[in-house]
Amino acid sequence: VFDVLIVGGGPAGAASAIYAARKGINTGVLAERFGGQVLDTLAIENFVSIKETDGPKFAVALEQHVKEYEVDIMNTQRAVKLVPGKISEVHTATGAVLKAKTVILSTGARWREINVPGEKEYRNHGVAYCPHCDGPLFKGKRVSVIGGGNSGVEAAIDLAGIVQHVTLIEFGNELRADAVLQRKLRSLPNVKVILSAQTTEIHGDGKKVDGLSYKDRGTGETHRVDLEGVFVQIGLVPNTEWLKGTVALSKHGEIEIDPRGQTSVPGIFAAGDVTTVPYKQIVIAVGEGAKAALSAFDHLIRSGDD
Ligand code: FAD
């Protein structure tokens, strides 16, 4: 029986593992893909104290740091079911059942893709998902933001201060963002909003993005916009499908946590992009992971099991 079983091996899970193991308690990490989203990232320039690194390097460093401690890492294993209890169970896709006194859920999230030709080919070569991360790479260039909800409009406002020009493309016939954001957006001279537009293709020269095509849903005509970057902002999906009916989830499917990382179920904690914590960033996931591990340790000493 683990004292702490961490499900998810991204930055949040890695931080939880280090903090738990340093308490000398029996710690395990179950991860489908150790490293998490950073494995799909090129440059990382906002992890405080590391001026610049890249995703795969960062993922290796995470794993090496965790391996400094006695942590049972179970990589390439997917959790499919959680059964909370005094001793909770985590069932894996291969049929194994792991038991733990406390569980930390850190299964992260994934960006919703638009699934058009060019998106996969030019991912990280002009196609981006995170304006806080990749915005500065497009300084002085032309970009588009796909999606007119709060995240799309916030991204467009943010990017307008860095890039030369932003074209915001919304599928529906109106923006869905809060009125105050829409007002701010409309006041910016270097942003153009196109409504009722369905993105049909992202173009490139074989190496990087050089344009985008969309269909005007009113007229049916297709138009091309020349640009260097495309930010897809149509939603971040938390990896919580396997948790339905166990811990409380928000309407967006994120695990609801309190400021200590406690979920609605005692002994079950959560951290990082999978939770309701705002701003999905590595530095934040790491802090949240550390917090959840300290809360789990606190739970163990208070329940008198350790
Ligand atoms: P994740 O990194 O998503 O890790 C989740 C972990 O859970 C993975 O190990 C996954 O395999 C595992 N998992 C999921 N489901 C299961 C399951 N059912 N069973 C077992 N394991 C499971 N942030 C920055 O701060 N700076 C950047 O420059 C930056 N650039 C980014 C670029 C891209 C392209 C992307 C996609 C994200 C970027 N981010 C960046 C965001 C950052 O990567 C995330 O905020 C961070 O990785 C979140 O960490 P996490 O541990 O919460 O989740």
Average pLDDT of the chain?
A: 96
CA of 11 to the centre of ligand 1 (A): 7
pLDDT of residue 116: 98
- pTM of the full structure: 0.90
Average pLDDT for 143-170: 97
Burial group, residue 176, by CB count within 10 angstroms (0-12, 13-18, 19+): middle
Q: Helix, strand or coil for residue 196?
A: coil
Q: What is the DSSP string of 95-163?
A: S-EEEEEEEEE---EEEPP---TTTTTTBTTTEES-HHHHGGGGTTSEEEEE--SHHHHHHHHHHHTTS
The percentage of residues in the chain with a pLDDT greater than 90, rounded to a whole number, is: 96
Contact assessment for residue 73 and residue 13, using Cβ atoms and an 8 Å cutoff: no
CA of 9 to the centre of ligand 1 (A): 8
ipTM over 0.90: yes
Residue 305 pLDDT more than 90?
Answer: no
Average pLDDT for 75-94: 98
Average pLDDT for 28-49: 93
Contact assessment for residue 177 and residue 154, using Cβ atoms and an 8 Å cutoff: yes
Query: Could you count the other beta carbons within 10 Å of the beta carbon of residue 140?
Result: 9
pLDDT tens for 190-248 read: 999 999 999 999 999 999 999 999 999 999 999 999 999 999 999 899 999 999 999 99
Binding pocket residue ranges, ligand 1, CB within 6 Å: 7-13, 30-34, 36-38, 40-41, 44, 46, 78-79, 106-109, 111, 129-130, 133, 239, 242, 272-274, 280-283, 285
Question: Rounded distance, CA 21 to CA 2, Å?
Answer: 11
Average pLDDT for 150-168: 96
Best mutation site among 40, 58, 107 for ligand 1 pocket (most ligand atoms within 8 Å of CB): 107
Q: Residue 167 phi/psi, 5° resolution?
A: -110, 115
Question: Rounded distance, CA 7 to CA 239, Å?
Answer: 11
pLDDT of residue 42: 79
